[in-house]
Structure 1
């Protein structure tokens, strides 16, 4: 049974925490696909749930001379969630910021793995600038990861940061009588 949360629970910080958590939970399936074929048609699927700016991603692509991602960025607009986060930045809790910061560290430190992973596991299409966390996590933490460097450097801290944010949300929901 779904219980409508009381208005007292729906503070701007709680909502922002939920948005950030939803981007990085293991059950989140946001992806970005290019030239995806389905039932005889080809699709280009953008990831409106990408939290980082086109400028940051272009800088990263140029720094690592990744022409594929540079090309993918051509003419692209900021994604909805990035804009939402910018508009609500003052509402982000320290736990939500920790998750965003750790995810960005992982994206930066794994960026050089994208070209290799695209060959090893092309179905994940990690050569898109707005690759979803499902794609990034598969490349970094999944069974088909290229190596263990980023995994070993981040896995424990990453899971702890996401767990801390999730626990904060769950405790607030329990205190409000929702769960």
Structure 2
């Protein structure tokens, strides 16, 4: 084992798409309307769609991820957020599309391949696009229809996740337009 590599500082990183402030506020309002006692509503500025979770990365791995994302080419896409749901473990309420567009699958798969190329472990679970609205929901809230939204996804980024006493804070390290290759 390389002990020098084991002692290098790391950052907890992930690729994600961030919704517009208006869309994030609408989702946070739904979260607030569903939250029970002791549940924590996700702040609008923290609502995001994770593409691929890299975990703890060295500076070299971070640079590798940035270089891989620099090469991505694809078309912007519309994401219809039409469902609300609850996962008992890890006790979260989420909003998600009923169907995942091919362009989102391609973006998520490309970012997962970047993790692999940068010597990072891949999550073996199938990709389930969602936006977390509430954490710590002990029981499933009433998830009757709260409408639907169309989100035009035009950018993605590499973000750092930094745990703090008040909750996790996210910082964008780099972001890119979702744009087709030019001739």
The normalised TM-score by structure 1 is 0.32
The normalised TM-score by structure 2 is 0.32
Which structure dedicates a bigger proportion of its chain to strand? Answer: 2
Which structure dedicates a bigger proportion of its chain to helix? Answer: 1
